Structure 1
Amino acid sequence: ILQEVMADTGQAKEVEHLEQARIAGWTVSLPPVRPDRRRRIAFVVHKFPPESVGGTEIYTWSLARELARAGHDIHVFYPKPDLLPGEEQATREGVHLWRVPLPATRTHEDPIRQYWHTFRDAAIERAFQAFMNTVQPEIVHFQHVQGVSARLIQLATGAVRIVTLHDYWYFCANSQLIRPNRRPCDGPDSNCFNCVDCATERADLTWMRTLRPAVALPFVYRNRYLRKLADAVDLFIAPSSFLQDMYVRHGFPAEKILVLENGVDDRKLTLRAPVILPEPPARPHFGFLGSLAWQKGVHILVEAFNQLGENASLTIYGSEHLFPEYVEHLKKLTRHPFIRFAGLLQPPHVGAALRQMDCLVVPSLWYENSPLVIQEAFGVGTPVVASRLGALAEKVEEGRTGRLFTAGDVDDLAHVLQDLAARPEALREMSRHIHPAPAMAEHADRLLDIYAELIEATKGAPTR
């Protein structure tokens, strides 16, 4: 680890372009960038569909595909577990995929090295250098580098560097600003002692708190390192004002952060997929769609819905295999006869499922940034009930496009749901006030304008 840190202080020995590509297992056959408006753009992300279908991954894929459809030269760099020989490169719907192996030893490492590899990995850094020399993109748009390597931002020399902030990872090691006691956190204190308390409780190592000054050092180093990388970034994009404010509060430059809502793949929402479940047993029909994890507050929703009569129903979509103990807990909590667990929803069926709902419920316990599922719900005209927390209160307009309730308050949520169940006409009225989020084509056009402005602004600037 010390050797990797020391490598940052000097210029690494240059490796020839073709030799680096050979090491990575990639072939070199790229045409030059055309001198017209066609752009060569690289996206870097920590996971990618179909292996992973979180909000960041779906957004990255949708954006990459949209730009490729528009005729741009699009490349996605990401690590893939269990990468087999011959899988290093692929092309999907015009998007060039560049995969690097995620070391199989990661899960067997000691805690210190595991922590280090959440934001630095020398092997992935070498592969990225090969990628940059091979592809030579004009723009590198970083979507997420958790578990990849934050140093890739520094290594993207010669290109415009943009970072979209999808969560709080650049100053919170667990990325969600939520404590083990399920209460929101406002971020690290000056010496990161609260980060030590959080991490040791999660790892069941609370005895280590007696050594706080020593245990805090890796957290302090990580946060300062990531904050320093901001100097190399040309622009940060925050999909909500709340997220922007949190980053500014933690020392990131306000003048470099642009608030821009993510686009949504409206093509997916218009697919007339078969109805996933039979007609719900009662209306209004409420729904949850997302990860069945405690920070998503699904238990709050189940407990609140138990208080309703049989004039409403609830369908819960989400994988039951990621956190099976939590799912079992949810099922034990369930007493209402019209609560249904419907399993993982495949992306092509999202629009159909949301259209079947009269209202989506987002009961999160953490500071959500800009949940894709809210954009998708609004895209089909479905109102949203959400926690009055973080950017959720920014996305849902009280009484107009949905309702808000006190995060974690079962009775307050039950009151809101009971009111809507008794007045279904209120849901229909809210639906009429909803304005869909920007379509991905519109969002991509806005990004292309931003890319062009930054390329022009950095012309002639010294290489960083």
Structure 2
Amino acid sequence: MKVLLALHGYPPELVGGTEKACQDLARGLAAQGVEVVVVAGSMQHEGGFRTSEASEEVPGAKPIRIVRIHRADLFFDHWQKSTSALVAGEFQRILRVEKPDLVHVHHWIRLTRDLVYRAALEAIPSVVTLHDLWTSCLITFRVRPDTGKFCEATLGPLPCLDCAALVPPRTPWVSRENLFMAVAQHKGDLVRELSLAGAVIVPSRAHGEAVTRFLDMSDEDLRLRVVPHGRELALRARTPLPSPRRLGKLVLGAWGHVHPLKGQDRILAAMRRSRFPEKIQLHIAGGEPFAPFAEKVHAQAEGLDVHFHGPFEADRLDEHPVTNVHAMVSGTRAHESWGLVLDEAVVLRLPLLLPDIPAFAERLEEGVEALFYASMERCEGEKEEAGVAALARLFDLLLEEPERLGTLRSRLPAARDFLTSIGRHVELSREIYDQVLERGAPPAPALDWWWDRMQMENERNWDESLGNTSPEESGFA
């Protein structure tokens, strides 16, 4: 079997949750004798539109071949650039040369939003894995830039256009009417991708239901299959700290990028809201990719017992100060599809304080295996303050009844039951591949002769128009 994996980036150039999950799958497939080719996007745009090739060695198996497609147009992560005729044409050329039995799409951004359709034109069946909410949101994460709240709106011109315009570059040269049509085409293409896919894999049932709802689709429209992410963690369980009563403090850890989506500011606000802020110590670990937010968080931490540790290595968390704590706490604003930090905390045997995000609640039993607080977007009146207050009450509860920490730790699921091994993830994926291959490629509507030419002309005009737009008009000043 030969499988082509497609996604927005691949290690070592780009390393994130999706990229690492795809790399683990690629290595696992190769180890089982599957020939693997990866087609990835890239942030290396110098040198014009081009492709580059590399390989990754897998012990005892055929190397993984990696073909990177380098776009050179401006702001190719922007939603209005989510289709690229140049990428689509190159992708089809690669398919004709490589002749894979199956295409597995993990992401479209930096490539083009019609990968499944292009594979179908070449009579190749596809599988899709939805790692996030990009298919249902023009700015990816469904968190409004103006309010910081999670958005429950169905993807469409209203309210999505006004929200997306808050993220530069703005495009004042595109008429309102054309923007409405662009959103309709964007959504239509992605709905077509998911409809043409032989299977749509999601890490949790909650994530699949969210995407279905936000795209205004039905369960019958999608062939949803839940396959948990594969994870191998060789972390040692942390030795419990002395009780907060004996230590005089409740010590908490939060790890992940310091970013508005991860909500470190919410945790700090809850500390201040607590009746005993002087008895709470917080350790924060993670890179700071968004300087304005990092500055806000550092300023917010002044006067509190907060320690910033900077970037960390996940495979060394068992010796990091951020996990030498009574409990792990999350303030995430993202509609998490899985929650890698849950894996890490459970293996480390750390009690968890979590927002009641559906995917989290699907994985851990509330009040038994973890303590949940009302996530801010769900609080009455949609006021974030109510959620901050709910988290503060959890802090106070653990200070007043510290024995709950031991109870939570004792009820954590065993790591072997909570985690899905990479090998098992590969097995489940291959079972789906076999079923999709048996059904064969779906029929696809023919590509109009003028479509790619029109898209290339639109892309050229977009870049020229942006170059003629002032920083003030485009939102950069």
What is the TM-score when the length of structure 1 is the normalising length?
0.78
Deviation of 1:237 after TM superposition, in Å, equals: 1.3
CA 204–45 in structure 1, closer or farther in 2 if over 3 Å, else same: closer
SS in 2 for 1:80: coil
Q: Which residue of 1 aligns with 2:390?
A: 412
CA 273–42 in structure 1, closer or farther in 2 if over 3 Å, else same: farther
- Map 1:47-446 onto structure 2 (within 5 A): 47-82=9-44, 88-93=53-58, 95-107=63-75, 114-117=78-81, 119-156=82-119, 157-180=122-145, 181-188=147-154, 192-203=157-168, 212-249=176-213, 250-255=215-220, 256-266=222-232, 269-270=233-234, 284-306=250-272, 307=274, 308-320=276-288, 322-335=289-302, 337-350=304-317, 352-353=319-320, 356-406=324-374, 407=376, 408=384, 409-435=387-413, 436-446=418-428
What residue identity is the alignment partner of 1:258? L
Q: Name stretches of at least 5 consecutive residues in structure 1 with no aligned partner.
A: 1-38
CA 160–379 in structure 1, closer or farther in 2 if over 3 Å, else same: farther
CA 158–350 in structure 1, closer or farther in 2 if over 3 Å, else same: farther
Cα separation, 2, equivalents of 1:80 and 1:205: 23
Deviation of 1:206 after TM superposition, in Å, equals: 11
Cα separation, 2, equivalents of 1:283 and 1:395: 29
Deviation of 1:451 after TM superposition, in Å, equals: 1.3
Cα separation, 2, equivalents of 1:179 and 1:375: 28
Deviation of 1:227 after TM superposition, in Å, equals: 1.3
Deviation of 1:44 after TM superposition, in Å, equals: 0.9
What residue identity is the alignment partner of 1:391? A
The percent of aligned pairs where both chains have the same amino acid is: 23
Bigger relative CO (Cα 8 Å, ≥ 6 apart): 2
What residue identity is the alignment partner of 2:97? T
Cα separation, 2, equivalents of 1:352 and 1:453: 43
Deviation of 1:299 after TM superposition, in Å, equals: 0.3
Q: Name stretches of at least 5 consecutive residues in structure 2 with no aligned partner.
A: 377-383, 446-477
Cα separation, 2, equivalents of 1:324 and 1:282: 33
Contact between 1:303 and 1:410, CA under 8 Å: does it hold in 2?
yes
What residue identity is the alignment partner of 1:175? T
SS in 1 for 2:266: helix
CA 389–348 in structure 1, closer or farther in 2 if over 3 Å, else same: closer
What residue identity is the alignment partner of 1:299? D
Deviation of 1:274 after TM superposition, in Å, equals: 13
Deviation of 1:300 after TM superposition, in Å, equals: 0.5
| Post-superposition CA distance 1:387-408 (Å, at most 9, x none) | 1234333333211121111224
| Post-superposition CA distance 1:205-227 (Å, at most 9, x none) | 69999x75443221122112221
Cα separation, 2, equivalents of 1:274 and 1:395: 21
Q: Which residue of 1 aligns with 2:435?
A: 453
Cα separation, 2, equivalents of 1:351 and 1:227: 42
CA 196–273 in structure 1, closer or farther in 2 if over 3 Å, else same: same
Q: Which residue of 1 aligns with 2:449?
A: none
Cα separation, 1, equivalents of 2:388 and 2:438: 52
Q: Which residue of 1 aligns with 2:456?
A: none
Cα separation, 2, equivalents of 1:326 and 1:148: 29
Cα RMSD of the aligned pairs, angstroms, is 3.3
Cα separation, 2, equivalents of 1:212 and 1:82: 32
Deviation of 1:445 after TM superposition, in Å, equals: 1.2
| Post-superposition CA distance 1:21-77 (Å, at most 9, x none) | xxxxxxxxxxxxxxxxxx322211112223333221121122222222333222221
What residue identity is the alignment partner of 2:396? Q
CA 80–452 in structure 1, closer or farther in 2 if over 3 Å, else same: same
Deviation of 1:327 after TM superposition, in Å, equals: 0.6
| Post-superposition CA distance 1:178-236 (Å, at most 9, x none) | 222112212336x5121122122334969999x75443221122112221233321111
Deviation of 1:160 after TM superposition, in Å, equals: 2.8
| Post-superposition CA distance 1:222-257 (Å, at most 9, x none) | 112221233321111122222222233333351433
CA 186–272 in structure 1, closer or farther in 2 if over 3 Å, else same: closer
The total of aligned residue pairs comes to: 411
What residue identity is the alignment partner of 1:152? L
Deviation of 1:78 after TM superposition, in Å, equals: 0.3
Q: Which residue of 2 aligns with 1:40?
A: 2
What residue identity is the alignment partner of 2:349? G
Cα separation, 1, equivalents of 2:388 and 2:171: 30
Deviation of 1:324 after TM superposition, in Å, equals: 1.0
SS in 2 for 1:386: strand
CA 369–104 in structure 1, closer or farther in 2 if over 3 Å, else same: same
Contact between 1:384 and 1:396, CA under 8 Å: does it hold in 2?
no
CA 59–431 in structure 1, closer or farther in 2 if over 3 Å, else same: farther
SS in 1 for 2:165: helix
Deviation of 1:87 after TM superposition, in Å, equals: 5.1
| Post-superposition CA distance 1:341-370 (Å, at most 9, x none) | 111112432454475344222212232221
CA 355–264 in structure 1, closer or farther in 2 if over 3 Å, else same: farther
Deviation of 1:333 after TM superposition, in Å, equals: 0.5
Cα separation, 1, equivalents of 2:173 and 2:166: 10
What residue identity is the alignment partner of 1:388? D
CA 83–202 in structure 1, closer or farther in 2 if over 3 Å, else same: closer
